[in-house]
Amino acid sequence: MPSPRLHPDLLPLDLGQRPTPLQRLDRPSARLGVEIWVKRDDPTGLGLSGNKVRKLAFLMAQAQAAGATAVLTTGGIQSNHCRATAVAARQLGMAPHLLLRGSAPAPGDLDGNLLLDRILGARLRWCDAHGYRDRDALLAAWAAELQAAGERPFLIPEGGSNAVGALGFIDAARELRAQADGLGLDFGAVLCGVGSGGTLAASRPAGCPAGGGRGGLRRPAHLRGAGAAIAAEAAAWGHRPPGPGPDTWSVLEGHQGRGYALSTPEELAMQLRFSRETGLFLDPVYTGKTWVALEREIARNKAAFGKRVLFWHTGGIFGLFGRGAEISAALAQVDGEVL
């Protein structure tokens, strides 16, 4: 979906806590033999948390400037982006409309992000994986219906990943660069989770190669193409992240495991160990897989990471809820007991 033109004076809304902390992870660093730092985008807010806040600060500014009364977006049934968009819409007095990939669960099975979407009264429509390929057309048709009913709809693409949303991560890259310079740090690599590609494309952060552990839905070639298009459009508006060009980022293959939003007991056990070493939570869809990718890549080829690595924590905590049974099984393996 092409991005609507950006007003040159568009300023981001103040939707989240920034700058986010940059912290050293002492115990994983000692265990893995590489200095590991984390960029904490998990506490950008409570309902409005994670990397999505950065994109929404610009996208919702654009919606507000357009006088939108309704916001439409799309994602998986447990989409963090959809939940964050619904929160931002309600904060700004707009009605959230979400096209979700999946099917409506029984009322007693509401959980995680979907539970929050329902609490916020988001209007929901559902489509299967096949229909989801036409998500942009489905959203456009829904917007036309709303317009005919007197609303002023505003469309946000999957993941908030267009050039307007990317401005949030270009800012994030500048924020990281300033923090790293202030502490006299440089990073041999930066890792973030990849879904729709906007975070990786825009952040390619602070003068170091960036890599993403992909969630499993999109192929690397697609992500590179989508990311490059987003970055090029933002650059045409005069917005460029600091640091090297797009050829310095890559999508790390082989870490998507069983597929999108599916985990193995071993992955969950590695995520549990991370939480016990750091006091931080990972979600099983994005940040958890990114952490697993980081550990495995360090084990495979430590030299590729240099002396210091950055793990970009992009939030997603609500993805943990509704996973009780799987996580209990992993706990039983790790602790040798069933709760």
Nearest residue to ligand PLP by CB is 316
Closest to ligand PLP by CB, 207 vs 316, is 316
The structure tokens listed for 330 are 């992993």
- Angle ∠(320,103,255) on CA atoms, nearest 5: 45
Q: Name the residue type at position 100.
A: L
Closest to ligand PLP by CB, 44 vs 62, is 44
User: Least distance from C-beta 332 to ligand PLP, angstroms?
Assistant: 26
Closest to ligand PLP by CB, 135 vs 146, is 135
Pair 199, 193: CB distance under 8 Å:
yes
Residue 311 and residue 208: Cα distance in Å, rounded? 13
The verdict on whether 275 is a catalytic residue reads no
* Residue 220 burial by Cβ neighbours in a 10 Å radius (0-12, 13-18, 19+): middle
Q: What are the residues whose beta carbons fall under 8 Å from the beta carbon of 175, sequence distance 6 or more?
A: 18, 19, 20
Closest to ligand PLP by CB, 305 vs 312, is 312
80-91 vs 52-65: helix crossing angle, rounded to 10:
40
> Residue numbers of the site for ligand PLP (CB under 6 A)?
50-51, 80-81, 159, 161, 193-200, 283, 286-287, 314-316
User: Least distance from C-beta 39 to ligand PLP, angstroms?
Assistant: 12
Which entry of 49, 79, 161, 203 is annotated as an active-site residue?
Answer: 79
Closest to ligand PLP by CB, 116 vs 146, is 116
Reduce the DSSP state of residue 283 to 3 states and report it.
Answer: coil
User: Least distance from C-beta 42 to ligand PLP, angstroms?
Assistant: 8
User: Least distance from C-beta 312 to ligand PLP, angstroms?
Assistant: 8
Pair 206, 180: CB distance under 8 Å:
yes
User: Least distance from C-beta 272 to ligand PLP, angstroms?
Assistant: 18
Strand order in the sheet with 95-101: 123-127, 95-101, 70-76, 153-155
Residues acting as catalytic residues: 79
